[in-house]
């Protein structure tokens, strides 16, 4: 679990994620940036910083860190770390890129050493090292349009932690991705082929629109809508309809007989005021539009978060839950997974979680971090077959498993240069206690 936390921070820039959110809360001016659509473009980050009023002292520190970090973002960088909890392992990531006026190239690989049960990549060579590319793409940008061809992780949703529709928990996709962005809205689209299951070809596509309203000196609201479709079949080729970045997917599925495509919708908002922010996401999966003989009910997930600042402190309180049979499907190969890993929230269906995180900015270069979470997990899994008749109990079903996680650590920013993260904590389950420590260092030069 600790390793997943570290790798997630490398994918998305965990401190950058919360740093931008915190900046928008502290800021006197709130310029446009669409945090619900990741990865955030470097051009968008630069515009954000150029038009930001940092506000108080902590806001100035955050702005300086972000400015120094993105100068060489995805040009020449590496990260390394070691983890010790119930397993001992380490990892190294190395990335190199080149950026011109209209074209950008970037490639990044991961090498993982030691035990890595359930973590990607898990297949080791000579029982020693597991390797794969995490990113590798060519990107073309002109005016407000961008087009990416290659491999990279994507994440949609307002939470700085794992989101519900596209969380980034799955291995990176080999895809084509496009976007159009103005000062008020951003439209994004992607299409990829997932892993085949026997003779079954599986495909995955999605589109998202994010729209901003508000007074840049007082408040900012981002409204988002996401729709994704997982589909396929024996010898099947992707229909052009699902490659259209503008049409809704559901009418085509409904008019062609239904149950052939796994479609998920996401609705979200992100509100930034002075000193406080609120966000929420609602995911809808396979909602029946008429009564069924099986007693089928809406399968949903939701989260809500509130965050704020107090002097040099930043805090985040979040709650989320997902009902049973969400991410699942009547057709086994339509389950919402990629190479066996969840595409949605990493906990899958039938759970809820409370989270509290606090960051104290001790100085310009040192942060103290503390997190605590409480998870309840029901018996539902993403691999279970649909029942002959759905029960009325859809959430936190059967015998519950409880997990409490505590974590405290520090981050040292030596910029331009590197960021060092040291953490210690424990995971408490119904059966065992797993203490652990981790250390990682990331460099941008």
* pLDDT of residue 258 exceeding 80: no
pLDDT at 41: 85
pLDDT at 1: 38
CA pair distance 223, 240, nearest whole angstrom: 28
Range of the domain at 356: 2-444
Mean pLDDT of 156-185: 92
Contact 440, 79 (CB under 8 A): yes
Mean pLDDT of 112-124: 79
* Average confidence score pLDDT of the chain: 87
CA pair distance 135, 121, nearest whole angstrom: 14
Residue whose tokens read 């969380």: 167
* CATH code, domain carrying 25: 2.40.160.130
Residue bearing the bigger pLDDT, 240 or 356: 356
CA pair distance 8, 12, nearest whole angstrom: 6
For the chain, the domain total comes to 1
Contact 303, 164 (CB under 8 A): yes
Mean pLDDT of 158-169: 91
pLDDT at 67: 86
2-32 per-position pLDDT tens digit? 333 333 333 334 445 568 889 989 888 888 8
Lowest mean pLDDT among 61-75, 290-304, 366-380: 290-304
pLDDT at 11: 36
CA pair distance 245, 241, nearest whole angstrom: 9
Q: How confident is residue 385, by pLDDT bands cut at 50, 70 and 90?
A: confident
End-to-end alpha-carbon separation of the chain, Å?
A: 29
Mean pLDDT of 407-414: 93
pLDDT at 10: 36
35: nearest Cα among 16, 50, 51: 16
Q: How confident is residue 295, by pLDDT bands cut at 50, 70 and 90?
A: low
Q: Dihedral (C-alpha) 118, 87, 399, 5: value to the nearest 10 degrees?
A: -70
For residue 316, with 0-12 CB atoms within 10 Å meaning exposed, 13-18 middle and 19 or more buried, which class applies?
buried
């Amino acid at each position: 679990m600790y390793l997943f936390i570290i790798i997630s921070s490398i994918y998305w820039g965990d401190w950058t994620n919360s740093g931008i959110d915190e900046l928008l809360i502290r800021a006197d001016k709130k310029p446009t940036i669409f945090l619900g659509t990741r990865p955030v473009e470097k051009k968008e980050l630069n515009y954000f910083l150029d038009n930001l009023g940092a506000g108080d002292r902590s806001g100035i520190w955050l702005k300086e860190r972000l400015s120094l970090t993105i100068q060489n973002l995805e040009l020449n960088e590496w990260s390394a770390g070691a983890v010790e909890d119930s397993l001992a392992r380490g990892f190294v990531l190395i990335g190199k890129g080149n950026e011109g006026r209209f074209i950008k190239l970037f490639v990044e690989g991961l090498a993982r050493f030691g035990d890595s049960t359930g973590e990607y990549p898990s297949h080791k060579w000579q029982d020693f090292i597991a390797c794969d590319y995490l990113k590798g793409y060519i990107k073309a940008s002109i005016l407000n349009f961008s087009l990416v061809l290659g491999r990279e992780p994507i994440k949609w949703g307002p939470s700085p932690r794992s989101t519900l529709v596209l969380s980034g928990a799955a291995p990176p996709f080999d895809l084509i991705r496009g976007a159009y962005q103005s000062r008020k809205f951003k439209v994004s689209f992607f299409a990829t082929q997932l892993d085949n299951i026997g003779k079954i070809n599986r495909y995955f596509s999605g589109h998202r629109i994010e729209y901003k309203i508000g007074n840049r000196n007082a408040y900012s609201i981002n409204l988002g809508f996401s729709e994704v479709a997982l589909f396929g079949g024996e010898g099947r080729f992707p229909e052009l309809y699902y490659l259209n970045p503008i049409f809704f997917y559901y009418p085509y599925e409904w008019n062609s007989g239904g149950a052939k495509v796994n479609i998920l919708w996401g609705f979200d908002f992100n509100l930034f005021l002075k000193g406080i922010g609120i966000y929420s996401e609602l995911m809808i999966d396979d909602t029946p539009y008429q009564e069924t003989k099986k007693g089928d009910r809406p399968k949903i997930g939701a989260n809500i978060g509130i965050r704020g600042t107090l002097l040099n402190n930043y805090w985040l309180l979040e709650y989320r839950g997902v009902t049973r049979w969400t991410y699942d499907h009547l057709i086994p190969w339509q389950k919402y997974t990629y190479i066996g890993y969840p595409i949605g929230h990493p906990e899958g269906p039938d759970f809820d979680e409370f989270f509290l995180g606090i960051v104290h900015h001790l100085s310009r270069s040192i942060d103290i971090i503390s997190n605590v979470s409480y998870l309840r997990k029901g018996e539902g899994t993403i691999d279970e077959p649909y029942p002959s008749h759905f029960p009325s109990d859809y959430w936190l079903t059967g015998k519950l498993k409880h997990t409490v996680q505590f974590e405290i650590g520090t981050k040292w920013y030596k910029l331009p240069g590197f960021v060092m993260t040291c953490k210690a904590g424990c995971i408490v389950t119904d059966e065992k206690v797993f203490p652990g420590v981790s250390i990682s260092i990331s460099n941008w030069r």
